């Protein structure tokens, strides 16, 4: 199980085609560094896709969803 202590939401849209390295660079640019047990949520400009980046203390996990999957996921 992955423990998430803090969830940070990005306020500016990002190109969700970005890979993990690019998302980590964006996290470092805004927050300084990715911290253990923190999750970072990104969305595209149309809010139809999201990516979740999670630092679990050992490495980074990246998950992606499309809008129709997000609606089903939240039910």
The pLDDT tens digits for 26-48 are 999 988 888 999 999 999 998 88
In 10 A of CB 11, how many CB atoms?
7
Report residue 74's pLDDT band, with 50, 70 and 90 as the boundaries: low
Residue 13: both structure tokens together = 């849209």
**Which residue from 1, 11, 7 is spatially nearest to 54, judged by alpha carbons?**
7
Detail the DSSP E strand segments found in the chain: 6-9, 38-43, 49-55, 60-66
Q: Quote the pTM value.
A: 0.83
* In the chain, where the domains are located: 6-73
Contacts of 57 by beta carbon, 8 Å cutoff, 6+ apart? 36, 37
């Amino acid at each position: 199980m992955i423990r998430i202590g803090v969830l940070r939401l990005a306020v500016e849209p990002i190109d969700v085609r970005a890979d993990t390295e690019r998302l980590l660079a964006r996290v470092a640019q805004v927050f300084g560094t990715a911290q253990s047990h923190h999750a970072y949520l990104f969305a595209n400009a149309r809010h139809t896709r999201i990516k979740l980046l999670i630092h679990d203390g050992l490495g980074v996990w990246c998950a992606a969803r499309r809008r129709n999957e997000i609606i089903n996921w939240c039910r």
